[in-house]
Amino acid sequence: MTQEPFTDNQVLDRRLELLEAYNVLNTPAEPEFDDIVLIASEACRTPVSLVSLVEDDRQWFKARIGFEACETPLDQSVCAHSLSSPDLLIIPDLALDVRTRNNTLVTDDPHIRFYAGAPLVSPEGIAIGTLCVIDTVPRPEGLDASQRRILTALARQVIVHLEARRLSHRKDELFKRQKGVAANIRADAHRNMAAQEAGRIGTFEIDIATGTVSTSPEFCRIFDVPVASTYPTSTFEAMAIDQGIQSTDATRADGSALTDVEYRIKTPLRGIRWVSRQATFDRDERGRPVTMRGTAQDVTFQKRSVLRVQALLDLGDRLRELDAIEDMTVAASDLMGKALDAVRAGFGIVDYASESIVIHPDWHAPGYPSVAGRHFFRDYGAIIGDVNAGKTVAISDVGADLRLADRAERLIGLGAKAIVLVPILDHGRFNLMAFVHFDEPRKWTDDELNFVRNFGDRVQSAIARRNAEAEQALMNREIGHRLKNSFAMVQAIATQTLRPVTERQHVTAFQQRLFALSKAHDILLNEQVGAPFGAIVASLGETLGMEGRLLAEGPPVMLGSRGALSLGLLLHELGTNALKYGAFSVPEGIVSAKWVVDGSGTEPMLRFSWSETGGPPPKLPTSRGFGTKLIQMGLIGTGAVTVSYEPPGFSAKMSASLQQLQQAN
Amino acid sequence: MGQSAPPRMPVVLVVEDEPLQRMMAADLVEDAGFDVVQAWGADEAIRILETRSDIRIVFTDVDMPGSMDGLKLAASVQDRWPPIQIIVTSGYFRLADIDLPPHSVFFSKPYQHEKLTAQLRKMAAV
């Protein structure tokens, strides 16, 4: 640790520089440093220990035990005194020492009295702070030899940790800077490319009679043909991918060719490009078109960004309406491939058990084979490591990428000369892979890569949502089944328990009510969300064997589980009464069950009526049994029931809040 | 229970692994005026059917342990003892979920005692 003597200011500057380089000030607590103060206070038997870093106006504590403030102004700092001492600074009684007796930490709360600090000296020989121990009682004996050694050693440990973080900090910085530079270069390149493409306007003039087109050099470059002054129109017509949009001999001759069109061409080297073409006709004295002249512009860049946005919008709609995972990936592949003008696009699901990816039916341009099926990790060569680690692999030129080695040939054979593989993680695990293939080497733009990632993420979340729903449905079914079996058990226990009961009608009534409840559960179980009102009424008709004589009429209304169970029991009572005393007790009686939703009040109400006709003259019930009580409680136990025992038969009207009936619980 | 009853009472074989439910079903069958034979599983039911020829109706649960569930038992009974009538019951399955042998009848658990009694009598009367 040799060093030139520094002036005080130089020392301060170096110290501040170092603190800056360590990048430690104002960072959260870290266990390495916390452990050090813990050991120091234990070893020295002091209530307080601090790792204090001294700046120009304050001391800040990287680690502290037994001390509340995380920093103090420099005039309260005892540590500042120990910076200038190369060894331990020990002050047995701070109240007696001239340097500290006026320090407010000594004169006021927390009334510290004993201090021992070991300077934190960097490898350059600069003290940046101290590791100190503090007590609130003076300690004339100071520290013993072992405690001194420990404190000094621990101070060195603090520096070791700080040095380690300085190194990693430096590496991070370097790395970040490199990444920044690379990203800037890339962005510049893309901007230039786009600007160049956007600026390219070619001109042409077609002599309609001969079918010859005079072309500007820029026009030739747009169509990726050698620069020449004339070409037959067929040269360019042959490049069109979407037939019928470009002009033809016939449409030029009669002047019906569209003058303002956008179409795709397949260029020899630059793949699929979008061309915007505008033209006018020059006519002869009889009005017949003689020449067609105009401009052509490469609008691939703009067009694709529009298509990508549109594809993302469409994807949202498609995923919402699909249930099966494969339908989702097929729809997404189609949208993704077309929006990118790729030759192939698709998705694969990772199967870890067999270290493979199962590619779902992909989208492929006409003339290109599908790659659907199982592909083993080893088939991907060296790139699978990156994919597995969640990194996007974008290869601009398959033939030139060393990682693919002997696999490149097979890919090129499939028409995949530029590929991108995007792994989509589910809870940090590689689960879904999106891929896109192009038939010519190309530079992948960040926009395109983000687009593929975005597609993958959305498909992944749709899959996750669907899986969760399927799981929920399965669970509901299982719970429902258990419930039904529990009903069967209750039935068995009750039957056995009530066997000695001589008044059988009570036992029967119980069994039938249990059955009515179980039927309502059945209906809830069969439906995904709640139970239809009509189904519960129909189930009663079936149970009583009165299907033709229970006339149900009302709009489709879904009930929540509470409403459904309550209605099930209520209808059972109405039905049994009708069977015993009312319309169902004679062959010609009819019951009409009607319900409507009444939205005229402050909240929508469901109004239900039960009217019997054709039965014997109705009689007031003589006793108020459970059944009568159940009826009086109404649709959901809130009453609002009127019953009538006037001819032509028993009737009951009841209403309840629709919202309450539809509540899930 | 009732195995040695006089032969003029039609005999119903109740197959159910859950003891309480078997007990209830046996009582129901007896109350309906039949003789009852009980088995706790399909394998035992087959053994019983192989040793006696007076069983007219088999009333079986679907979900039972052993090499055969109630549906396989029903198919096997249909196949080997075609005159025997079959009633199948289940708390797990619904009629739509299962493949019943022809001429057999399904009751969802919990079942209505009156309806089951009526079904037994109808079958015995044929």
Mutation target among A476, A478, A481, A527 for the B interface, most CBs of B within 10 A: A481
CB atoms B23 and A492 under 8 Å: yes
CB within 8 Å: B91 and A488:
yes
pLDDT in tens, A429-457: 888 999 999 998 888 988 899 899 989 98
Provide CB contacts within 8 A for A209, sequence distance 6+.
A290
Is B91 inside a domain boundary? yes
Q: CATH code at B66?
A: 3.40.50.2300
Residue A557 token pair: 């209304």
CB contact under 8 A, A511 and B112: yes
Give the closest-approach CA distance of B96 to chain A in angstroms. 11
Residue B126, pLDDT score: 61
Check whether A2 has a pLDDT greater than 80. no
Q: Which of A187-196, A346-355, A490-499, A654-663 has the lowest mean pLDDT?
A: A187-196
What is the bridge-based pairing of β-strands A89-91 and A114-121?
antiparallel
Domains of chain A: residue spans and CATH: 8-171 (3.30.450.40), 198-298 (3.30.450.20), 304-468 (3.30.450.40), 498-662 (3.30.565.10)
Nearest Cα neighbor of A454 from A302, A300, A304, A311 is A311
| Residues of A at the B interface, defined by Cβ within 8 angstroms | 481, 484-485, 487-493, 495-496, 499, 508, 511-512, 514-515, 518, 522, 526, 543
B44 close to A (CB below 8 A): no
What order do you get walking across the sheet with B105-108 strand by strand?
B35-39, B11-15, B55-61, B85-90, B105-108
Cβ neighbourhood burial of A550 (10 Å; 0-12, 13-18, 19+): buried
In whole angstroms, give the CA distance from residue A236 to residue A330. Answer: 33
Tell me if B2 is assigned to some domain: no
Give Cα separations from A433 to A99, A322, A445 (angstroms): 69, 19, 19
Does some domain include residue B4? no
Taking CA atoms, A360 is separated from A292, A332, A587, in Å, by 47, 11, 62
| Cross-chain CB nearest to A481 (options B18, B20, B92) | B92
Rounded to whole angstroms, the Cα distance separating A187 from A183 reads 6
Model confidence at A7, pLDDT cuts 50, 70, 90, reads low
Give the closest-approach CA distance of B38 to chain A in angstroms.
Answer: 16
pLDDT higher than 90, residue A594: yes
Using a CB-CB cut-off of 8 Å, the residues of chain B touching A508 are 113-114
For A355-383, what is the mean pLDDT?
Answer: 90
Residue B5 in domain:
no
Token couple for B104: 């057999």
Q: Which two tokens stand for residue A192?
A: 């230039």
Q: Which long-range contacts (CB under 8 A, 24 or more apart) does A29-35 make?
A: A29/A62, A29/A63, A30/A62, A30/A63, A32/A161, A33/A62, A33/A63, A33/A158, A33/A161, A34/A63, A34/A65
- Asked if the structure places residue B6 within a domain, the reply is no
Nearest CA in chain B to A497: B24
Complex ipTM > 0.85: no
Asked if the model's pLDDT at residue A295 lies above 70, the reply is yes
In a domain, B3, yes or no: no
Q: Do A511 and B113 touch (CB under 8 A)?
A: yes
The verdict on B24 touching A (C-beta cutoff 8 Å) is yes
Residue range B4-50, pLDDT digits in tens: 545 568 899 999 988 888 989 999 999 999 999 999 999 999 999 99
- pLDDT grade for A168, boundaries at 50, 70 and 90: low
Residues of B in contact with A518 (CB under 8 A): 110
User: Quick one: closest CA in A to B110, which residue?
Assistant: A488
- Asked, for residue B110, whether it belongs to a domain, the answer is yes
| Domain assignment of residue B82, given as a range | 11-125
Name residue, tokens 């054709």: A614
Between B5 and A474, the more confident residue is A474
pLDDT tier at A566, thresholds 50, 70, 90? confident
Question: Which residue in B16, B22, B24 has the most chain A C-beta atoms within 10 A of its own C-beta, making it the best mutation to test that interface?
Answer: B24
pLDDT-based confidence at residue A56 (cuts at 50, 70, 90): confident
Nearest to A438 by CA among A414, A419, A411, A410: A419
* Range A539-558 average pLDDT: 90
- Chains A, B: CB pairs < 8 Å: 51
pLDDT-derived band at A609 (thresholds 50, 70, 90) equals: very high
Task: State the average pLDDT for chain A.
Answer: 86
Question: Are A495 and B24 an interchain contact pair (Cβ–Cβ within 8 Å)?
Answer: yes
Q: Which residues of A touch B28 (CB under 8 A)?
A: 495
Distances (CA, A) of A211 to A202, A203, A292, A487, A556: 18, 16, 10, 86, 68
Q: Could you tell me if B20 lies within 8 Å of chain A, comparing CB atoms?
A: yes
The residue type of A220 is: C
The count of structural domains within chain B is 1
Residues on chain A touching B92 (C-beta within 8 angstroms): 481, 484-485
Q: Which residues contact A291 (CB under 8 A, 6 or more apart)?
A: A205, A206, A207, A208, A281, A282
Q: What mean pLDDT comes out for the span A608-637? A: 85
Looking at residue A182, what is its pLDDT? 55
Q: Does residue B1 lie within any of the structural domains?
A: no
DSSP code, position A392: -
